[in-house]
Amino acid sequence: MSDWRDWGPSRPVRVDGGVRAKSKRGAIGERWWSRRFIEVLESYGMSGRLARGRSYARAGQVLEFSLTQAMVTATVQGSRPRPYQVHIGVLPLTTPQWVRVEEQLAGQALFRAKLLAGEMPREIEEVFDECGTSLFPSRAEDMDMRCSCPDWEVPCKHLAAVCYVLAEAFDADPFQMLAWRGKGREELLGALRREPAPGALAAPEVTAPPLAECLDRYWAAGLSPGRLRALSATVAPATAPDLLLRMFEPPPVQVRGKDLLDVLLPAYERLAAGD
């Protein structure tokens, strides 16, 4: 009689049409927040077990994937005919915690602008920390990771594959990460579009000598032409041209049968291109 240890490693049943990771080699996750998510999982001692699911994610073994507030559900095709059911839950923030986070984000022009442009400011982790919580689960115990496969290890390769697909979902839309923590995109955008707290965006007080005392150097450049050229070569990419359109709700106005937003967007893009 053969022993089960003599059996070779099981191979997954190949499928078509699964959710295939975009990354073909190396690390998965292009943006800093998705890479940070994987780093947080690896910090729990999951590094080796996560690597087992990378090939599953790249092969498209994740058949279905759904992210709702505080919960990810997926089906993953393994070596058996019936796909496995995967659930990854996370403890959502409480209402008071979200109120504090929203106030902090709405009160900072840079945070509001980046989030409304579809970017995640790097300082957002500090904002969550200052509000008494964390952007990412702070402990492995804060996540409920379950798979219907017989593997007792957590995460198994099926859970790991879904983690990588989840990281790429965060890549595509950072609001997905915030929704996973309990706040949907439209709810958060509504909070960010409200007026910030009084004085939050007040202009800083600037002291300068009277104009009459600096007329001889008023029009002089503060930096040499060479230094200015060097700085312009390293300047960050321009903000998205339609940022202002995203920051405020468009008025219910139509122009020649089109929504005002649809009319203005091409004009903003032409202005940004210098046409």
Query: Residue 251 belongs to what domain range?
Result: 247-275
65 pairs with which residues across the strands? 74
Asked whether residue 28 falls in the same domain as residue 140, the answer is: yes
Show pLDDT as tens, one digit a residue, over the chain (275 residues).
Answer: 444 344 445 678 887 777 877 766 667 778 888 889 988 888 887 887 788 888 899 889 999 999 988 899 999 999 899 999 999 999 888 889 999 998 888 887 788 778 877 778 888 889 899 888 889 888 888 899 999 999 888 889 999 999 999 999 998 888 888 888 888 888 887 777 765 544 444 444 556 677 777 777 666 655 566 655 555 554 444 556 666 666 566 677 778 777 777 788 788 777 767 66
CA 180, chain centre distance (Å): 11
Q: What is the pLDDT of residue 77?
A: 93
Look at residue 76 in the predicted model and tell me its pLDDT: 95
- Quick one: 81 exposed, middle or buried, by C-beta within 10 A (0-12, 13-18, 19+)? exposed
pLDDT of residue 199: 47
Question: Does residue 28 fall inside a structural domain?
Answer: yes
Question: Same domain, yes or no, for 33 and 101?
Answer: yes
Find tokens 């997926």 and name the residue: 74
Residue 226 has what pLDDT? 60
Instruction: Note whether residue 50 is domain-resident.
Output: yes
Dist CA 146 CA 48 (whole Å): 18
Residue 65 to residue 85: CA distance in whole angstroms: 10
User: Among residues 193, 213, 231, which one ends one of the domains?
Assistant: 193
pLDDT of residue 66: 93
The one-letter code for the residue type at 266 is P
Q: Which residues pair with 146 in a beta bridge?
A: 87
Assess contact for 194 and 201: CB atoms under 8 A: no
Are both 150 and 275 inside the same structural domain? no
251 in the same domain as 155: no
Residue 270: helix, strand or coil by DSSP?
A: helix
> How far apart, in whole angstroms, are the C-alpha atoms of residue 53 and residue 72?
16
Helices (H), ranges, 107-219: 109-116, 124-130, 157-172, 175-180, 185-193
Instruction: Please give the pLDDT value at position 235.
Output: 45
**175 in the same domain as 266:** no
Q: What is the pLDDT of residue 200?
A: 46
What is the helix (H) or strand (E) element at residue 72, kind and residue range? strand 71-76
Instruction: Give the SS3 label for residue 133.
Output: coil
> Which residues have a Cβ under 8 Å from the Cβ of 241 and sit 6 or more positions away?
268, 269, 271, 272
Cα 108 versus chain centre, distance: 18
Q: Does the residue 4 lie in any domain?
A: no
